[in-house]
Structure 1
Amino acid sequence: MKKTILTLLAVISITAISAQKNKVQSAYNYNNAFERNGKCSEIQNGLEAINLATQDASTKDASKTWIYRGNLYYNLLLPTTDKNCKALYKDALDEATKSYLKGMVLNFEDDALKKLDLEKEADLMQFFGALQNKSKMEDQQLFGTAFSRLPGLGGEYANKGISLFQTKDFKGAQESFQKALMLIQFSGKTDTLILYNLALASEYAEDFETSKQLYNALIQLNYNIDGNGASIYQSLARIHKNGGDKEKSFETIKKGRKAYPQNQNLIFEEIDYYLQSGKDQDALVSLNDAISIEQNNAFLYYVRGTVYEKLKNQENAIADYKKSIELDPKQHDAAFNLGAFYFNKGVDKINVANDLPLNQSKKYEEMKADAKKDFMSAIPYIEIANKAKPEDTDTATMLIKLYTQVGEDAKAKELKTKYE
């Protein structure tokens, strides 16, 4: 009787194992049926069967179980699959990826490789190395099915990353781009566009250490898709600057200028650094470069005018202010600075005249007349500035003073009333 019971138990065990193996085969058949007829019920039945197989000791460690499971979820991602069916399995992308990778790991002949946990970085690197070294597989065809679909899954994650980035879920976007990059890299290729998107998402997610590493990698790869090569230097410099390392930031800008000498954004960053550091001569060189590229940029002439003025080169400062106004009559700052130059020049003459001794009355009158000419020269430019920015009270105040100095009392009174 005891032997009979043991025999029955053995038969039950064999029957159970056979049943689970049938679940795997059933899932395979359901998947094939779905590929023929597109019925969501085939996917549902297939996943029900395969999920049972993933829980059973006799089939849960079989490569075939997980790759068949991956096939079912992969088909849910296809554009031809009914959207209502897709909606039932919103985690299809993650499940397909997890299933294929687990199935590939279990397909290695090497028992040590079968134990890899791809959630661990060291194991992930070992897995990547095994792929590159073409380690032996138990079923090469089955492995090839999963392997061939990794780039497609990577593309799905890349699209998901873009969507998440657009909705400002930068952490989610970072994770999606990271998965996309990993899956595509398994095939031995690096998608630099995804690498760039990952760097950008990492920066926006405030993972600055990761973004710095990625931007440096892109620089090493000479990335310049869609003309974004120069912006990498800008982004990297910004991270250094925000982190308090201004010297490293400027060093990055200089490298960017060398790689992209005609890029205006990098030139502007360089100019800004020089101006904030009081390096006016260096700023002047960079401004000359910028103007040689954009000869009709009114703002650049204004900025160069301010630098010339700081360097006491009044003639060039006046020429640049005038050029700026010529290109853009609404360029308030250039007009104000030019008007202020003539105004201050006139005020200086009045002050000198007031300090003259009484016996130099002729000289006094001459200097007052010269000062009036300067005030008259200032008025058109301050009027332009006032028109460009009527809300600016400093401009209006200067214009009132000028009108008063030249005897235009009615205009001064009218303008004063306007701002009271």
Structure 2
Amino acid sequence: MLIPKQILNLKMAKTTEISQWMTSQMRLDSGFGMALRWMTFTLLFLPGLVFAQKGKVLSAYSYEQAFYESHDCRELAKAIEAIEMALTHEQSSVWAKTWYYRGNIYFDVYISQDDECHGLSIEALDISYESYLKSMEYDEKERYVKEIEPKISVIANLYLQRGAKYFNVKNYEAALADFEKTIEVSRHFEKTDSIALYNAALSAEKLGNDSKSALYYEGLIDIGYNDPRIYHFLSEANLRMGDTTKSFQAITAGRKVYPNNPDLIIDELNYYLQKNETEKALKNLDDAISEMPSNAQLHYARGTLLDKMGDLERAKTAYEISLKLDPDHFGANYNLGALYFNKGVEQVGFANDFDESHNKEFKAAEQKALEYFKESLPYLEKANELDPHDRATMISLKNLYSRLGDNQGYKRISELLDN
């Protein structure tokens, strides 16, 4: 039986349309199924990823615990590798726990007495400190703060100890860096480590960084550090920078706090001497001597000042007291010898002022000059003995031997001067 073409065509068309619809439906079903499967895979994958990240953190912790038991540096190396891997992932890199464990691991590296373990990281102390700070930054619930803060306090001391070691071997740059780190860590607790400040100032001074040393000395003064030397050191630092005003301000500030400190009195004295303010300088000397009556240098300085002021009798007394306290004081010996020598020269001048009609007065002045020259001799010879290379002393002795008619002494000194 022949099927009419029109009906066949209709059926074929219909069949084709249905087939196309079924195909499209199959595609939709297939796509929907894939979407479902993809979503299921994603949901399964994400927890797996988080679990893997947690696994790295926990592995790091486990390796660290294994290290505690075995003291095997390989366990510590594995802990480092695991914790660093955890930090490469976006999620675990912002976990407080990750950074806390990292701080602990590197802390263990630094404090280890085993060279192999200690050598796992040359920056272990810095990394440990920075990791603890990061942990507290991410620790919104403050789960680790109580454990971290005592360790940060220990880290401050470790920086201080390492800085001291560097300082003792004259690695002042490394010492300064560690002392400054101690200061930084201490400020985390809103405290100032006075020892670190002091050592930082000394290290900066050794490096010739006077601006930084002055900054740290000022910091010590601000916290009321009880040591008068700080004012002296600050004054010296400012003086080296050419700031005489700030230098003197440091001295006067120190004198207010420590009015009887002899070193600060002398600092103030030196300032007045440089400014040629002799009366103020003399008062400072008297204050200093009242505090240190057995200090030969102070009596010598007083004699020098009185000598400069023309008060020769009081100057002579001051020199004599200085030499009584310290017979080997070069300056006091030389100055007292020079004082007598100058008096002798003055008498020679007086003698030369007399004419022949005043022969008696001439002889008296000449004799007086000779007495002064003789008094000068033992002091200048002692000064030459104490410092045989001082040319001023040798020239004075040459002139003195000439006036005393000591040809041997004159020849000996002349030869020394020529050589």
The alignment's TM-score, normalised by the length of structure 2, stands at 0.85
Return the alpha-carbon distance in structure 2 between the equivalents of residues 28 and 360 of structure 1: 109
| 1:108-257 to 2 correspondences below 5 Å | 108=140, 138=141, 140-205=142-207, 207-224=209-226, 229-257=227-255
Check whether the contact 2:63–2:76 (CA below 8 A) recurs between aligned residues.
yes
Q: Which residue of 2 aligns with 1:113?
A: none
Return the alpha-carbon distance in structure 2 between the equivalents of residues 57 and 384 of structure 1: 83
| C-alpha deviation, 1:204, in angstroms | 4.2
Q: In the alignment, does 2:352 pair up with 1:354?
A: yes
Q: Which residue of 2 aligns with 1:98?
A: 130
| C-alpha deviation, 1:417, in angstroms | 4.4
Structure 1 unmatched runs, 5+? 109-137
Check whether the contact 2:77–2:120 (CA below 8 A) recurs between aligned residues.
no
Aligned pairs, number: 385
Residue type at the aligned position of 1:144: K
Residue type at the aligned position of 1:310: K
Residue type at the aligned position of 1:99: S
Cα–Cα, structure 1 residues 374 and 163, in superposed 2: closer, same or farther, change >3 Å? Answer: same
Further displaced range: 55-64 or 366-375: 366-375
Return the alpha-carbon distance in structure 1 between the equivalents of residues 38 and 353 of structure 2: 127
Selected match of 1:53 from 78, 86, 100: 86
Q: In the alignment, does 2:361 pair up with 1:363?
A: yes
Check whether the contact 2:111–2:118 (CA below 8 A) recurs between aligned residues.
no
Selected match of 1:332 from 330, 333, 345: 330
Q: Which residue of 2 aligns with 1:21?
A: 54
Cα–Cα, structure 1 residues 357 and 153, in superposed 2: closer, same or farther, change >3 Å? Answer: same
Selected match of 1:12 from 45, 50, 57: 45
Check whether the contact 1:329–1:384 (CA below 8 A) recurs between aligned residues.
no
Residue type at the aligned position of 1:41: R
Q: In the alignment, does 2:373 pair up with 1:375?
A: yes
Return the alpha-carbon distance in structure 2 between the equivalents of residues 413 and 175 of structure 1: 60
Cα–Cα, structure 1 residues 404 and 206, in superposed 2: closer, same or farther, change >3 Å? Answer: closer
Cα–Cα, structure 1 residues 413 and 178, in superposed 2: closer, same or farther, change >3 Å? Answer: closer
Cα–Cα, structure 1 residues 205 and 388, in superposed 2: closer, same or farther, change >3 Å? Answer: closer
Q: Which residue of 1 aligns with 2:72?
A: 39
Check whether the contact 2:210–2:238 (CA below 8 A) recurs between aligned residues.
no
Selected match of 2:283 from 282, 285, 291: 285
| C-alpha deviation, 1:274, in angstroms | 1.1
| Identical pairs, percent | 35
Q: Which residue of 2 aligns with 1:322?
A: 320
Selected match of 1:274 from 272, 284, 295: 272
The alignment's TM-score, normalised by the length of structure 1, stands at 0.84
Cα–Cα, structure 1 residues 414 and 171, in superposed 2: closer, same or farther, change >3 Å? Answer: closer
Residue type at the aligned position of 1:172: A
Check whether the contact 1:237–1:249 (CA below 8 A) recurs between aligned residues.
yes
Cα–Cα, structure 1 residues 190 and 86, in superposed 2: closer, same or farther, change >3 Å? Answer: same
Selected match of 1:88 from 108, 120, 138: 120
Selected match of 1:69 from 77, 97, 102: 102
Check whether the contact 1:69–1:99 (CA below 8 A) recurs between aligned residues.
yes
Q: Over aligned residues, Cα RMSD in angstroms?
A: 2.2
Check whether the contact 2:323–2:329 (CA below 8 A) recurs between aligned residues.
yes
Q: Which residue of 2 aligns with 1:299?
A: 297
